[in-house]
């Protein structure tokens, strides 16, 4: 390579650098896609876990903070009933979703600061139902 003119040497170096940047970009895209898929799976799992909202009293109705917005706070609230749902299992999956979203926000530099209204829940007509706190 010492016999090559400096313009060709520079060209070879810039091609090699460009190739490395392109390949590293592909790796992060793949990782991001895997995170989104895993996050999608976790949300699907959580929805299945909390799908039975039947209740006999309001004390059985719970609200989970799920996910993480870039500016703080949860990305959503999920209502469920402890009558037929394991509280520990629901909280565990919600925590995994929150951790994934925090990592995603940091990795992608997301800045979603849209407000998410907090909810409370009551047992109405034997179903846990949410209502916004205003």
- The residue with greater pLDDT, 100 or 15, is 100
Domain presence at residue 1? no
pTM, full prediction: 0.68
Half-sphere exposure of 70 (CA within 13 A, CB side): 11
At 81-95, the pLDDT tens digits run: 999 999 999 999 999
At 42-84, the pLDDT tens digits run: 999 999 999 999 999 999 999 999 999 888 889 999 999 999 9
Distance (Å) of CA 95 to CA 32, 55, 60, 85, 98? 19, 24, 20, 16, 5
Domain presence at residue 79? yes
Contact at 8 Å (CB) between 105 and 71? no
Inter-helix orientation angle 6-49/87-108, to 10°: 160
Q: What is the pLDDT of residue 8?
A: 43
- Domain count of the fold of the chain: 1
Residue 67 is classified by DSSP as S
Domain presence at residue 55? yes
Q: What is the mean pLDDT of the chain?
A: 78
Domain presence at residue 114? yes
Q: What is the pLDDT of residue 93?
A: 95
Q: What is the pLDDT of residue 63?
A: 95
Residue 33 belongs to domain spanning: 6-132
Q: What is the pLDDT of residue 34?
A: 54
Q: What is the pLDDT of residue 59?
A: 96
């Amino acid at each position: 390579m010492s016999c090559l003119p400096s313009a060709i040497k520079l060209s070879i170096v810039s091609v090699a650098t460009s190739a490395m940047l392109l390949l590293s970009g592909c790796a992060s895209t793949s990782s991001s896609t895997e995170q989104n898929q895993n996050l999608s799976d976790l949300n699907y799992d959580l929805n299945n876990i909390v799908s039975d909202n039947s209740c006999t009293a309001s004390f059985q109705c719970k609200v989970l903070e799920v996910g993480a917005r870039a500016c703080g706070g949860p990305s959503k609230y999920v209502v469920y009933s402890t009558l037929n749902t394991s509280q520990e299992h629901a909280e565990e999956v919600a925590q995994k979703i929150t951790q994934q979203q925090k990592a995603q926000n940091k990795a992608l530099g997301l800045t979603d600061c849209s407000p998410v209204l907090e909810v409370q829940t009551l047992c109405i007509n034997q179903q846990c139902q949410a209502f916004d706190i205003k």
